[in-house]
Amino acid sequence: MAVLRPVDLKTQPAPYQSRYMVLQKVLKTLEKFHAASPELGKKAVEVEASVAKKSASSQSYRFNASVVLRDILKSKGKLDCLEPSSKKKGVIASAAKLTKSQAMETLQAVLVDQATLVANGYNTGAPEKTEQMSDTDVQGVYTTCIRCNTKFRKDQIMNPTTCRFHVQRKKFNRETRQGEYACCGETTNSSSFLALGCKTLFHHVFRPETFSEMERISPFRNTCKVQGKANVLALDCEMAFTSCGYELIRLTIVDFFTSKVLYDEIVRPFGEVIDLNSEFSGVHVIKEETSVSFDEMLEKILHESLINKNSILIGHGLENDLNVMRLIHDKIIDTAILYPRGHYKSSLKDLAFEVVSRRIQTGEHDSSEDAIATMSVLKSKLGIPLAQDVWE
């Protein structure tokens, strides 16, 4: 039989090579249920073309391809049921039991590629673009408070000062045509003293912006040195502001297949605590006896049974988590990248409500709740049964 090729399209969502691979995969999957024939080949070309046509980027192409492959398997190769499911934007209503290897294959297909990782602020170990700045030495000394916008000296961060800010960002109200702060209801036009901010702390805060700045506190480690079998883990971190900037204070790791919490510890930061962000982080106090050091945490989690070079790590805006954990890892599934809202990254809160009708973050943040919500969104989008916790 002649070699099958993907049809030419005006705009190519993905490189020829990956379209070719998907086409072969579609055909192979169809051949599990039908005898090979020229008609079947034609059908495979059609199926691949329909995936390519509705995909705007290589990321969405890979996602849509994985959904179609899943559909073929589930329907046992019934071709007529392939098209209608595409109308539902990849959401599969029925969720029959899957085997672990089927689920793994589905997850492999939505791994974020390296270029997208870099574009989204992940450290891939590639050399950083160094900003061209004339005031190089000044840059290291001064920084801008991310809450009140005041410029201050980093080495004087623990000297008491006044930092007034709003806990939540302002939103534009179309009716009143002014900005409103959800935290306190103050508006940008208000002349009240409270308009400057509803919360006052005695220190400004900052986040290290570059990887080299982060490295000065603790070095990045590449997970490629950690041996182990492939596993799938959802991560969630809570962070605090300290004299060193923005640091990890709690880490939760949940197993994708069993939803079991595998690791959950309060982690002591390197710097002196300025703000634990308790209303978001749920961490109110860090005691020596109920917490672990950063290095103790790394020693536990960089292990064949937890994060190793073959692990698939799942998170929402996972670059924030991996950067505070100082990890370089290349098998990433990020629901903020996979399911954006227009030009913006979706919030996990909105996404969880939209996809699995689950209300989260109604009160304090809980990292295991977030990790589980992220997994539920992913499972639901990929047609992996939410409640399945026994896998063959």
Q: How far is the CB of 170 from Zn ion (least distance, A)?
A: 9
Rounded CA-CA distance 24/92 in Å is: 23
Binding of Zn ion by 146 (CB under 5 A): no
Binding mask 201-240 for Zn ion (x = CB under 5 A): ---x------------------------------------
Closest by CA position to 59, among listed 17, 13, 120, 9 = 13
Binding of Zn ion by 22 (CB under 5 A): no
Stretch that binds Zn ion, among 177-185, 244-252, 258-266, 324-332 (CB under 5 A): 177-185
Stretch that binds Zn ion, among 95-103, 161-169, 230-238, 265-273 (CB under 5 A): 161-169
CB 267 within 8 A of CB 291: yes
* Opening angle at CA 351, ends 346 and 353, nearest 5: 145
Give, as ranges, the residues between 178 and 207 that touch Zn ion (CB under 5 A). 181, 183-184, 198, 204
Q: Residue 38: CB partners within 8 Å, gap ≥ 6?
A: 1
Residues 307, 311, 314, 315: is their CA dihedral positive or negative? Answer: positive
How many CB atoms sit inside 10 A of residue 357's CB? 8
Query: Which is closer to Zn ion, CB of 204 or CB of 316?
Result: 204
Query: Which is closer to Zn ion, CB of 186 or CB of 247?
Result: 186
How many CB atoms sit inside 10 A of residue 100's CB? 13
Number of residues near Zn ion (by CB under 5 A): 11
Closest by CA position to 308, among listed 226, 209, 245, 252 = 226
Query: Which is closer to Zn ion, CB of 117 or CB of 148?
Result: 148
Q: How far is the CB of 172 from Zn ion (least distance, A)?
A: 15
Residue 215 host element (H or E): helix 211-215
| Candidate residues 145, 262, 292, 306; the one interacting with Zn ion per rule CB under 5 A | 145
Q: How far is the CB of 176 from Zn ion (least distance, A)?
A: 16
Query: Which is closer to Zn ion, CB of 108 or CB of 190?
Result: 190
Rounded CA-CA distance 244/225 in Å is: 28
Stretch that binds Zn ion, among 26-34, 64-72, 159-167, 332-340 (CB under 5 A): 159-167
The site for Zn ion (CB under 5 A) is made up of 145, 147-148, 150, 163, 166, 181, 183-184, 198, 204
